[in-house]
Amino acid sequence: MNEEQDVQDQVNETGARQEGEAVDGAPEQDFADLVKELEEVRQHVLYAQAETQNVRRRLEQEKQTAALYAATGFARDMLSVKDNLDRALAAVPDELRQDEKLKSLLVGIEATSRELDSVFSRHGVTRVEAMGKPLDPNRHQAMVEIPSEEAEAGTVVQEMQAGYMLKDRLLRPALVGVAKKP
């Protein structure tokens, strides 16, 4: 019976302790702490959801950008082909242009150049306007200053190499000569 008495005493002590705590206000304090902790957890969840949404948005934007400008490297490499075609056409003197044997070759080179221009335009590759324009360091790279009476200082008067844009990004700056006062 001694054991039963000990168990009964422990039950009575626990009940008395719980009644005393209710009087002291500990359960209300525990409840307030739990409410505070729950609010903190809610805030953390909201921050995590917002961060996840921001990451998704950022990744979607990067995906779109990558798709728009995926051909940048290829387009940049094709610019040297365009330059070589233009140089080949510019190097042919007028008297050779009249030669019937070379005429078909020149027509073929010109057609290839036009087709390359057409492909560039379909894919958003455009030539940077340079001649007669004020020097724009975002699109032009000044190579030399050329004394000029006619042109205003800082104006492009010579284009050594054409510049190109891919949509709104610079593929290659135009290499230019800029006017200066003599």
Q: What SS3 class is residue 167?
A: coil
Report, as an integer, the average pLDDT of 33-43.
94
Q: What is the pLDDT of residues 87-123, one digit of tens each?
A: 999 999 988 888 888 888 899 999 999 999 999 999 9
pLDDT at position 54 over 50: yes
User: What CA–CA distance (Å, rounded) separates 151 from 166?
Assistant: 30
The pLDDT of residue 23: 44
Nearest to 128 by CA among 155, 167, 91: 167
Residue with the bigger pLDDT between 123 and 68: it is 123
Residue-by-residue DSSP string for 46-68: HHHHHHHHHHHHHHHHHHHHHHH
The pLDDT of residue 13: 57
Query: What's the pLDDT band for 182 if we cut at 50, 70, 90?
Result: confident
Q: What is the percent of the chain where pLDDT is above 90?
A: 64
Report, as an integer, the average pLDDT of 162-173.
94
Helices (H) and strands (E) in the chain, counts: 5, 6
